[in-house]
């Protein structure tokens, strides 16, 4: 699939290429959005009322090294993403590697629940616990009570599903996986699709993606695709509306919206 997409867009093996909004911009991948192999696994993580919230992308040879969150409210504790008394958050990214060699996904466990500081140097491999690819359920993590960043080794076909408020980033292993490095030596490509429960948190994230982040270039989903989503029970209620027009206060703490 990676080879096909790169060839179709005239992208060479190691060239940087990123496209957001899969339905509108990389339709070759759109069928994965409703693919039960992905959707069922997302359901297991966030609940039965899973909906597609439009944010989705294909990245070739791109590595987001810096620690970051994908949620609309990026700073811990500030804004509606962190208020769950009414509804739990339940917005998650499903990311699948299409090409990956010596690649890992770095994540700071519990950083969606606790204000855990980022490590100052993402290159420092000694600051991580490593989850090798394969069955990792028995790998002991932070048994001493200290939460440490985790490196999840990734290979093609691996699907990672994570709450988008978690601090994370991409990593490249150096020789024998003994250090981390900044540059890719092998092609890397991945697809990411964001889903959420049929709730206000998901509607806020959709409006943030579609209407606030003009830089990401999202457009309306075509009517025929809304029908597909509806037929698969993946259509988010109120998906055509900009929630911040109706309720500007929901934009608290979101970069790019006037502070309330």
Ligand X SMILES: O=C(O)CCC(=O)C(=O)O
Cα–Cα separations (whole angstroms), residue 54 to 129, 131, 152: 32, 30, 26
Cα–Cα separations (whole angstroms), residue 130 to 96, 113, 127: 19, 21, 10
Which residues lie closer than 8 Å to 193 by C-beta, 6 or more apart? 22, 32, 33, 38, 52, 55, 56, 93, 94
Using rule CB under 6 A, residue 163 touches ligand X: no
Which residue, 208 or 228, has its beta carbon nearer to ligand X? 208
Using rule CB under 6 A, residue 149 touches ligand X: no
Q: CA angle, corner 94, sides to 86 and 48, nearest 5?
A: 45
Copy the structure tokens of residue 128.
Answer: 């991580």
For the bound state, the minimum distance from the C-beta of residue 97 to ligand X, rounded and expressed in Å, comes to 8
Q: How many residues bind ligand X (CB under 6 A)?
A: 9
Do residues 17 and 11 touch, judged by C-beta distance below 8 A? yes
Which residue, 106 or 254, has its beta carbon nearer to ligand X? 106
Region from 32-40, 80-88, 130-138, 163-171 binding ligand X, contact rule CB under 6 A: 163-171
- Identified binder of ligand X from the candidate list 51, 168, 203, 204, rule CB under 6 A: 168
Copy the structure tokens of residue 24.
Answer: 């509108």
The residue whose Cβ lies closest to ligand X is 170
For the bound state, the minimum distance from the C-beta of residue 16 to ligand X, rounded and expressed in Å, comes to 12
Using rule CB under 6 A, residue 63 touches ligand X: yes
SS3 label, residue 134: coil
- Identified binder of ligand X from the candidate list 79, 109, 149, 169, rule CB under 6 A: 169
Question: CA-CA distance, 111 to 132, in Å (whole number)?
Answer: 21
Binders of ligand X in range 184-243 (CB under 6 A)? 192
Using rule CB under 6 A, residue 250 touches ligand X: no
Binders of ligand X in range 68-127 (CB under 6 A)? 70, 95, 105
Using rule CB under 6 A, residue 16 touches ligand X: no
Q: Enumerate binding residues for ligand X (CB under 6 A).
A: 63-64, 70, 95, 105, 168-170, 192
């Amino acid at each position: 699939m990676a080879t096909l997409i790169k060839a179709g867009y005239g992208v060479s093996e190691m060239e940087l290429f990123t496209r957001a909004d899969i339905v509108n911009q990389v339709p070759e991948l759109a069928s994965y959005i409703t693919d039960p192999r992905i959707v069922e696994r997302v359901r297991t993580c966030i609940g039965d009322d899973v909906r597609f919230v439009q944010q989705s992308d294909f990245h070739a040879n791109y590595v987001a090294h810096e620690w970051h969150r994908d949620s609309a409210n990026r700073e811990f504790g500030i804004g509606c993403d962190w208020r769950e008394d009414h509804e739990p958050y339940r917005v998650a990214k499903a990311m699948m590697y299409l090409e990956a060699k010596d690649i890992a996904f770095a994540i700071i466990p519990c950083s969606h629940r606790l204000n855990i500081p980022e490590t100052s140097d993402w290159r420092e491999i000694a600051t991580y616990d490593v989850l090798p690819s394969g069955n990792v359920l028995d790998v002991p993590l932070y048994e001493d009570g200290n939460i440490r960043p985790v490196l999840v080794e990734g290979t093609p076909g691996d699907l990672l599903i994570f709450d988008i408020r978690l601090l994370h980033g991409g990593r490249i292993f150096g020789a024998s996986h003994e250090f981390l490095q900044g540059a890719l030596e092998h092609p890397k490509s991945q697809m990411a699709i964001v889903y959420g429960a049929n709730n206000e948190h998901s509607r806020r994230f959709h409006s943030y993606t579609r209407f606030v982040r003009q830089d990401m270039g999202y457009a309306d989903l075509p009517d025929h695709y809304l029908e597909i989503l509806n037929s698969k029970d993946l259509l988010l209620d109120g998906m055509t509306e900009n929630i911040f027009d109706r309720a500007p206060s929901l934009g608290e703490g979101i970069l790019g919206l006037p502070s309330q």
